[in-house]
């Protein structure tokens, strides 16, 4: 016992000094810290788009002493710089950690990253409203319109060229009145696809409700449906629907209405119809209607159509047309 009490102050001081020294050694020796650093998305020329997703974060291993490595790294970022002129296909980017690390710290991370690029493509795509309505037995869903009828998106050609339509988020409500509507957001776009600049991701949807047991409607049969947008070099095969209209029969005529669908087709560089020559379930829109009070479109039968497209055939000039063309040709010599 005397051994422990003899010069106890000196011994306690020695133990304390040893503990401090041990702690300092532990604190000052080299340690490794692994962190996730945000990756800055590289800018691209307007004619190119990402064909695969760039990682949002990259793993960085930091080496240094415990005291030097314990710092805030949220302001650091990984910058991607192309090693050559950008092109479609695979491109190599040099990865740099910015800003410079504090003195005494070493970092290890992936210094190159391969990213696949594709041609950028703008597309106008029809919007399909999604309605989830709790209807009473004496109510049925009638004519549904969207404004605008299409949304412009931008993305890699390999994805955007195959898209046919966009959908809204579901509109859910208990329905008691004869008309419903409102602004509805567009459902999430596919990966790597984004709205075109200044393109809002919402449309106004208006729906008409009607009594399915009523027969007090004027039926305009075999109303032709056309494309509301230009489709250069191709034609849509004729399709028809029946339009049911509420109003005085003497005030209602076929030529007062014009029906159309938005046609999401185009020719690719090989003169093929993209995304395909048959597009199913395109909603029919009334693009022209009379302004006569009391006339109201109620429902279409059917409300969606199958649109079939084919390459437009250029007819050769007739003999009379050819003679006129030859007459206007300048004389030889």
What is the DSSP secondary-structure string of 173-223? EE--SSEEEEEEEBPPPPTT-EEPTT--SEEEEEEEEE-TT----EEEEEE
**What are the tens digits of pLDDT across the range 151-208?**
999 999 999 999 999 999 998 776 656 678 889 999 999 999 999 999 999 999 999 9
pLDDT at 266 over 60: yes
**pLDDT given at position 313:** 82
Is residue 138 within 8 Å of 175, Cβ to Cβ?
no
CATH class of 123-311: mainly beta
State how far the alpha carbon of 9 is from the alpha carbons of 12, 16, 23, 103, 246, in Å: 5, 10, 21, 41, 105
**Strands 273-274, 266-267: pairing kind:** antiparallel
User: Which pLDDT value is given to residue 315?
Assistant: 67
Q: Please state, in angstroms and rounded to a whole number, the distance separating the CA atoms of residues 203 and 151.
A: 9
What is the rounded distance in angstroms from the CA atom of residue 196 to the CA atom of residue 159?
15
Q: Note the pLDDT of residue 2.
A: 54
Q: Specify the DSSP element, H or E, that contains 58.
A: strand 57-65
Tens digits of residue pLDDT in 77-103: 999 999 999 999 999 999 999 999 988
Q: Phi then psi for 197, rounded to 5 degrees?
A: -55, 135
Q: What is the 3-state secondary structure of 231-282?
A: CCCEEECCEEEEEEEECCHHHCCHHHCEEEECCCCEECCCCCEECCCEEEEE
Residues 203, 319: Cα–Cα separation, whole Å: 51
Query: How many CA atoms within 13 Å lie on the side-chain side of 319?
Result: 0
What mean pLDDT value characterizes the chain? 87
Q: 33-47, 127-141, 168-182, 265-279: lowest mean pLDDT where?
A: 168-182
- Residue ranges per domain, the chain? 2-119, 123-311
The CATH class, in words, for 2-119 is mainly beta
Per-residue model confidence (pLDDT) at position 29: 64
Q: Count the neighbouring beta carbons within 10 Å of the beta carbon of residue 285.
A: 20
123-311 and 2-119 share a CATH fold? yes
Two tokens at 141? 């869903």
Whether the CB-CB separation of 61 and 34 falls below 8 Å is answered with yes
pLDDT, tens digit, 9 for 90 and up, residues 116-137: 999 999 999 999 999 888 888 8
**Mean pLDDT, range 62-72, rounded to an integer:** 83
pTM of the prediction?
0.78
């Amino acid at each position: 016992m005397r051994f422990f009490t003899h010069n106890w102050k000196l011994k306690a001081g020695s133990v304390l000094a040893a503990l401090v020294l041990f702690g300092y050694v532990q604190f000052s020796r080299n340690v490794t810290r692994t962190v996730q650093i945000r990756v800055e998305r590289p800018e691209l020329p307007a004619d190119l788009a990402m064909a695969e997703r760039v990682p949002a974060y990259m793993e960085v291993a930091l080496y240094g002493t415990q005291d030097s490595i314990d710092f805030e790294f949220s302001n650091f970022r990984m910058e991607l710089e192309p090693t050559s002129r950008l092109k479609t296909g695979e491109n190599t980017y040099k990865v740099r950690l910015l800003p410079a690390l504090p003195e005494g710290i070493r970092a290890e991370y992936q210094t190159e990253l391969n990213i696949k690029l594709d041609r950028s493509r703008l597309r106008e795509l029809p919007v399909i409203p999604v309605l989830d309505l709790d209807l009473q037995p004496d109510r049925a869903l009638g004519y549904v319109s969207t404004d605008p009828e299409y949304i412009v998106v931008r993305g890699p050609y390999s994805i955007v060229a195959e898209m046919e339509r966009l959908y809204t988020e579901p509109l859910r409500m208990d329905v008691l009145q004869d008309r419903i509507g409102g602004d509805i957001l567009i459902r999430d776009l596919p990966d790597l696809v984004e709205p075109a600049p200044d393109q809002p991701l919402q449309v106004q949807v208006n729906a008409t409700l009607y009594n399915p047991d009523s027969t007090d409607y004027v039926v305009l049969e075999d109303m032709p449906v056309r494309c509301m947008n230009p489709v250069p070099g191709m034609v849509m095969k004729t399709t028809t629907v029946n339009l049911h209209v509420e109003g005085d029969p003497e005030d209602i005529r076929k030529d007062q209405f014009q029906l159309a669908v938005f046609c999401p087709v185009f020719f690719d560089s090989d003169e093929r119809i993209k995304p395909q020559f048959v597009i199913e379930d395109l909603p029919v829109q009334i693009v022209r209607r009379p302004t006569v009070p009391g006339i109201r479109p109620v429902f279409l039968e059917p409300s969606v159509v199958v649109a079939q497209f084919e390459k437009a055939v250029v007819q050769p000039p007739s003999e009379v047309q050819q003679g006129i063309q030859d007459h206007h040709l300048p004389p030889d010599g």
